[in-house]
Structure 1
Amino acid sequence: MTHTLLIVSLPFEPIVFGIKLNMHLILEYLAFFVGFRYYVFSRKHGVDTISSSNRLTIIIGAIFGALLLSRAIAFLEEPFVHYEQGWMALMNNKTIMGGLFGGLLGVELAKLIIGEKQSSGDLFTLPIILGIIIGRVGCFLAGTNEFTYGRQTSFFMGMDLGDGLSRHPIALYEVAFLLLLFIGLKRIKKNTKSLESGMLFKIFMISYFSFRFLIEFLKPNTFFVLGLSSIQLLCLICLIYYYKTISQTITYVLQKLHLL
């Protein structure tokens, strides 16, 4: 009896009833839907000290901040190319890194306007991670049609992502990292009763932006400022934003090591 190995070529665009499906777009919409439903479920079964009206204002602030900065940072990845492509390309191109940091700024501005003092990020943390994981699967299936692929490599993890070259499958690296981060943060949330409000979201942002800063070295970027890509510069800005949390964490770890 013979067995046939099914090899899916990238980009993966199956044809159903004569229609070519854009799996990246489908999974992107699915990511938003699943992430939002998970957020609703978490809020319903958890404790949210922020009122519904203030929470709605915060969400609106996050949406507008994410929309603006996700486009701006995507434009800065290849500014000359995107400028030539025109306004439509500017509106279509986006990056999750700009979306996250823009959303953060939008939330802080919204909270400042309505006078909300409590941290609001913890409730969004796990839904955001789950959404990014689903979205990154879509990026992987898009192959080299999406700029989430890596440089050519002879590394055993190298894959043909659609152009006949062996490349780092950066989207898969990110999925693996985010799965571990999701599990880790879920355990922290469950087992740490005295966790400072907002700390879960801070750990996520610091961890994810640190990871993305490093993984950018594996991407075939062509536009640099001070030897770094626009994404890496944004990562550094985010880490500077959280410098107090990082400093406190380092001090805490050093104290624990000293006690050992």
Structure 2
Amino acid sequence: MDFPVTFHIFGKTILAHPVFETLGIFIGMRFYFYLKRKSKEKVSFNTSAAVLIGATAGALFGSKLIGNLENPYKLFEHFDFKTFWTNNTIVGGLAFGLIGVELAKKVVGHKESTGDLIVFPLMLAMIIGRIGCFLTGVHEETYGLPTDFIFGMHLGDSYLRHPVALYEIAFLVVLWIVLKIIQRKGKYPSGFVFQLFMLSYFTFRLLLDFIKPRLELIGNLGTIQLVCIGVIIYYIFKIRKTKTVISH
């Protein structure tokens, strides 16, 4: 396979990453609306609209903010709007999407969790998007460090590299199975599956980024890892609080 994989659409050559990213968002949203129609938990239109707007606005802002803060020196010394707009990271999108949802729920006065329904559509979108990351190779910053590990692959340069996009796909597939088993037991309150997803994914990303190129800001931690630590601490307390409620 030659990297990057490209597609010819309407006379233009387009990298696989934006194609699969768009496809992932579309299929993920369709899956979400399908699950929403089947769900026994009915949420008012105002609440649904507020949550969707909050999640979208927060994710859009956060993905670009954290994506650009991966290299803050480059951002502030040579600011370029086109570069700023094209830099994204799912870690920032998830973290700030969560903030957007919580703020939106406060505005409409909704106190119940709304996260469980989005977990599997979100994971599906991420899996599809990561296929695009893998097919783009080293031509976007979604590749791993050079390695002599058994899974090392040529991704478009002269080095064998960790195929971190494939690692993430494998992790998400396993996590999907585990969360489905937990969900089917049905003994946990609404929102618990989403909490487990966030804690698991951000823990995985904290570790995964040690084998990805990064600018070390504090110790040997990059921006994405610092965000991951903040989210992990938040969800450890959330899950402990949930378990306390269950035990009582």
TM-score (norm 2): 0.92
Equivalent position to 1:114, from 108, 113, 126: 108
CA distance in 1, matches of 2:61, 2:135: 26
Equivalent position to 2:83, from 79, 89, 96: 89
Cα shift readout 1:36-71 (whole Å, capped 9, x = no counterpart): 000000011112232122111111000011111111
Aligned residue number for residue 150 of structure 2:
156
Which residues in structure 2 correspond to 1:17-166 (within 5 Å)?
19-83=12-76, 84-166=78-160
3-state SS of 1:53 partner: helix
CA distance in 2, matches of 1:39, 1:16: 28
Equivalent position to 2:229, from 236, 242, 246: 236
Judge conservation of contact 1:78–1:223 (CA < 8 Å) in 2: no
Judge conservation of contact 2:4–2:15 (CA < 8 Å) in 1: no
Cα shift readout 1:117-147 (whole Å, capped 9, x = no counterpart): 1100001110000000000000000101121
Q: What is the aligned-residue identity percentage?
A: 43
Which residues in structure 2 correspond to 1:5-20 (within 5 Å)?
8-15=1-8, 19-20=12-13
Cα shift readout 1:6-32 (whole Å, capped 9, x = no counterpart): xx1111114478642321111111011
The amino acid that maps onto 1:121 is: G
Shift >3 Å, 4+ stretches? 14-19, 245-251
Larger radius of gyration: 1
Aligned residue number for residue 182 of structure 2:
188
Cα shift readout 1:208-240 (whole Å, capped 9, x = no counterpart): 000000011101213422321001100010011
Cα pair distance change 1:16/1:96, threshold 3 Å: closer
3-state SS of 1:153 partner: coil
The amino acid that maps onto 2:86 is: N
CA distance in 2, matches of 1:232, 1:154: 24
Unaligned runs of 5+ in 2: none
Aligned residue number for residue 224 of structure 1:
217
Cα pair distance change 1:82/1:163, threshold 3 Å: farther
Judge conservation of contact 2:143–2:164 (CA < 8 Å) in 1: yes
The amino acid that maps onto 1:164 is: S
3-state SS of 2:147 partner: coil
CA distance in 2, matches of 1:108, 1:89: 29
3-state SS of 1:94 partner: coil
Unaligned runs of 5+ in 1: 1-7, 252-260
Cα pair distance change 1:17/1:40, threshold 3 Å: closer
CA distance in 1, matches of 2:23, 2:117: 19
3-state SS of 2:221 partner: coil
Cα shift readout 1:228-256 (whole Å, capped 9, x = no counterpart): 100110001001111324546999xxxxx
- Count residues in correspondence: 244
Judge conservation of contact 1:70–1:96 (CA < 8 Å) in 2: yes
Aligned residue number for residue 254 of structure 1:
none
TM-score (norm 1): 0.88
Cα pair distance change 1:63/1:15, threshold 3 Å: closer
Judge conservation of contact 1:77–1:231 (CA < 8 Å) in 2: yes
> Is 1:212 aligned to residue 205 of structure 2?
yes
Cα shift readout 1:133-174 (whole Å, capped 9, x = no counterpart): 000000000101121111110001001111121000000000
